[in-house]
Structure formats: structure tokens, C-alpha cells
């Protein structure tokens, strides 16, 4: 039994008002907030993302000659579609870009074996197009993550830097996603 803060009378468990003075019973903090356990850490209406080490991403990007960066956007297209329809369209484009990147890498190796001015121009142009697409997607995803956090009242914490998104693209975005999962704004996919 707890005591009424206004008149001091005993209040039975579960009562919302004091029987004697009518004062509203203030529940303890533990009773007001549902207990968070590891099983109940799912955020309602939040997409599921995987937590990935940024260091591992850098290694994979180096090993795959940059193909991993496009694959990162493409593989997360379902979670991005839940985040924002605009981001879903952008990340779906990376399916085609993956094929172009493989062609680009094969062309680069072909150029190394047989340097030809026309092939070099094509490879250079393709390189600019690919990085332009990655930069555009990075800016779009950063804005969607910031808007998602803002809608949940945590925008200042997760606004993110446009410059960092442009320079470090998917690496910086994954870092932001990891932070948002830790703050329980996004759900963790296992």
C-alpha cells in the first residue's frame, strides 16, 4: 500500500484516486513506463536494418574495388522503402548500377592490358556517372534518416552532415544507422 501525497491516507494497489480526498494517485515511474527487455526492444513502424561494422565495410569496398558500395544501397532497398518511397526508388536503381560497375571493372582491366584512348574516355565517363549516383543516393538517404529521426523528436541528434555523407557515403550512413539502432529509433535485423 502506498500513501496519498495530499492527505496521507493508505491507497490500495491499482487505485487511481484517493478514497478520502479524491486526489489523483501518481504512479511510480516504473509503473508508468513499460519495462524494456531485450525481447521488447522493437520500435513500432520503424524499418529493420543490420548493424554492420564500418571497418568491415571499408575492407569489403577495397576488396571488391568499390562494388560493395553500390551493393550496400541495393541490398537495403526494402528497409529504405519503409523509410521513404523516394529513397526506395534511388536504391533500386543500384541493381542496374551493380551490372554497370562490373562492366566498368572489366573495362578497367581491359584498359590496363590494351591502352586505348576511346576506352579510357568511356571508363572515365562511367566513373563519373557511378560516383554521381552514389553521391546523390547518399544525400537522399541522409535526408530520409534525418527526417525519420525528426519525426520522432530526435532530429538534432541524428541530423547528420551532408558533407560527410558526400565524402564517406555508405560508410557514414551505416554509422548513422548503427547509432539510430542503438537509440532504438530503428529496428535491428538479425
In a domain, 25, yes or no: yes
> What percentage of the chain has pLDDT greater than the value 90?
9
Residue 38 within any structural domain of the chain: no
- pLDDT (tens digit, 9 = 90+) per residue, 71-115? 888 888 888 888 877 777 776 677 667 666 666 666 666 655 555
Same domain, 119 and 58: yes
Residue with the three cell numbers 536503381: 93
Name the 3-class secondary structure at 76.
Answer: coil
Name, in order, each residue with C-beta under 8 angstroms of 34's C-beta and a sequence gap of 6 or more: 40
Model pLDDT for residues 23-73, shown as the tens digit of each residue: 777 655 444 444 444 434 445 677 888 899 999 999 998 888 777 888 888
Same domain, 72 and 142: yes
Same domain, 162 and 78: yes
Based on the domain organization, do 23 and 81 belong to the same domain?
no
Share of the chain above pLDDT 70, in %: 71
Under 8 Å CB-to-CB from 166, ≥6 apart: which residues?
Answer: 135, 138, 139
* Percentages (nearest 5) of helix, strand, coil residues in the chain: 60, 5, 35
Q: 106 and 171 in one domain? A: yes
Domain total in the chain: 2
Query: Could you give the C-alpha distances from 177 to 18, 58, 105, 109, 183, in angstroms and in order?
Result: 47, 16, 29, 35, 10
Residue 10, domain extent: 1-33
- Looking at the structure, tell me whether residues 28 and 53 fall in a common domain: no
Q: Are residues 9 and 61 in the same domain?
A: no
Amino acid at each position: 500500500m502506498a500513501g496519498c501525497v495530499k492527505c496521507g491516507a493508505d491507497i490500495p494497489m491499482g487505485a487511481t484516486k484517493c478514497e478520502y480526498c479524491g486526489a489523483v494517485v501518481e504512479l511510480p515511474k516504473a509503473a508508468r513506463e513499460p519495462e524494456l527487455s531485450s525481447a521488447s526492444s522493437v520500435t513500432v513502424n520503424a524499418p529493420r536494418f543490420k548493424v554492420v561494422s564500418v571497418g568491415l565495410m571499408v575492407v569489403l569496398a577495397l576488396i571488391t574495388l568499390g562494388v560493395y558500395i553500390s551493393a550496400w544501397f541495393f541490398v537495403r532497398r526494402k528497409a529504405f522503402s519503409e523509410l521513404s518511397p523516394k529513397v526506395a526508388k534511388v536504391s533500386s536503381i543500384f541493381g542496374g548500377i551493380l551490372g554497370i560497375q562490373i562492366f566498368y571493372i572489366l573495362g578497367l582491366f581491359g584498359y590496363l592490358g590494351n591502352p586505348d584512348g576511346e576506352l579510357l574516355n568511356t571508363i572515365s565517363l562511367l566513373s563519373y556517372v557511378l560516383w554521381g549516383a552514389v553521391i546523390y543516393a547518399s544525400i537522399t538517404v541522409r535526408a530520409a534518416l534525418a527526417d525519420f529521426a525528426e519525426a520522432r523528436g530526435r532530429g538534432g541528434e541524428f541530423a547528420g552532415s551532408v558533407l560527410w555523407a558526400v565524402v564517406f557515403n555508405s560508410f557514414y550512413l551505416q554509422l548513422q544507422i548503427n547509432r539510430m539502432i542503438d537509440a532504438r529509433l530503428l529496428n535491428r535485423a538479425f
